[in-house]
Each structure stands twice: as structure tokens, then as C-alpha cells.
Amino acid sequence: MMVYDNSVVRRDPVRRARPKVEAGGIAMVESIRRLPGDKAYRVLESGPTILVSTRNKAGRTDLMTVGFHMVVSHEGVLAAVISPGDFSQRSLAETGECVIGVPGVDLAEKVVDIGNCSGYDVDKFDHFGLTPGDGDRVAAPLVNECLANVECTVLDDSLVSDYGGLVLLNAEQVWVNTRRQEHRTFHHNGDGTFNADGEFLDLRERMVLWKEYQT
């Protein structure tokens, strides 16, 4: 903005970030910082941090903390990354079943602690004071303290070795805990920090192309 005073032109003292023009003519603002491509998860890992529950054929249960997952289709296909070699992944490969538990933010510290130890060494349900529940479709236990639980069966595990444990799951049954007072989930930023859900926005009336998914 230009300020005129007695025919003398002065520049407004408020300075704005000047775009830097790089090779190829792309303008970059100084306030924007770069991250390498392998850090994309730090801006895209937006789904709620989850627990994956398994029960192997010997009857031993386990819990695993997972941050990499997504909904693949409206038909109940899900994707999750469950690291090869982990106790949970071996149980999943053995049985083809698991439960995805969605914890509330009040369980955040416990969920992080669950991710810091191995099912080879500790019974996580017992150690962390969580309650296993019975589902309808799979032998893996529900996590009663979670906001929701999704019983799943393995749809495709052919990419496990190539992509660090990527597995496609089919959601068989969903359970929602209506008695929980805490309804906020929390989201990992990929660096040990988390965001909790904030303001609830109801924009259903604006989503005119997606009415069939609102019932």
C-alpha cells in the first residue's frame, strides 16, 4: 500500500513476504518450508490413531498402535500398515482376523505406551488395564474402552513384504460405544506430537452429492 503525504511517497511500514522465483518460474514464499517426499506422512497422517487387536490360534491376544491406515471404499474396504515381524502381524497372518479399535483422546498416553512394547514380552490387555470384549464375526477381541471397534478380516496381504506391512481389510461389523463421555479422537503428526479433535462441523446440507452416505 502507498501512503501520500505532501507529495512525498512513503512505503507502508508493514512488510509482506516476498515470493522467491526459482528455476522453472515457480514462486515460493519465505514462510513455506520444504520437507522431503518421504516425510509426506507428516501432513497426510490425518486419520485417528488406532489400536489393532489380534488373537492367535493359541489364544494369545495382542494390541498394536497404528497410525498408518485409511478407508479405501464405501464398501468397507480398509487399508492398514502393520509392520512385518511384529507379534500382531504374525497373529494376523495366521488367522486372517483383527479388530480395529478407535480410542478417545483420554487414552492417548496409554495408546503411545502400547506402541512402545512388544506382544512377545507382555500381555498388553492385562498390563494396560484394558478390557477385551466379544465380537460377532472374528475371534480377535474388541477393546471395550474404545469409542468404536471394527471387526475385520484380511482381504489382501500380498503387499505386506513390498510395502512395510500394507494389508487390505474388509470391515465385517462395527461397534460404537454410546456410553463414552469422551468422543474426541486424536491424530498423530508423524513426529511424536498429536492433534485432538476440536470443533464439530455439521455440513451435511452442503454435501448434496453424498446424501446416500449420511444415513
pLDDT in tens, 9-35: 445 555 555 555 555 555 556 788 887
- Residue 8, pLDDT above cutoff 70: no
Asked whether residue 145 carries a pLDDT value surpassing 70, the answer given is yes
Domain coordinates in residue numbering, the chain: 46-192
Lowest mean pLDDT among 26-35, 101-110, 143-152: 26-35
Say yes or no to pLDDT of 185 above 70: yes
Helix-then-strand count for the chain, H and E: 4, 15
Point out which residues pair with 148 in neighbouring strands.
102, 176
| 87 pLDDT tier (thresholds 50, 70, 90) | very high
pLDDT at 138 exceeding the cut of 80: yes
- CA-to-CA distance for 138 and 99, rounded, in angstroms? 8
Q: What is the pLDDT of residue 143?
A: 98
With a cut of 80, say whether residue 184 has pLDDT above it.
yes
- Across all residues in the chain, what is the average pLDDT? 87
Task: Find the radius of gyration of the CA atoms of the chain.
Answer: 23
Architecture of domain 46-192: Roll (2.30)
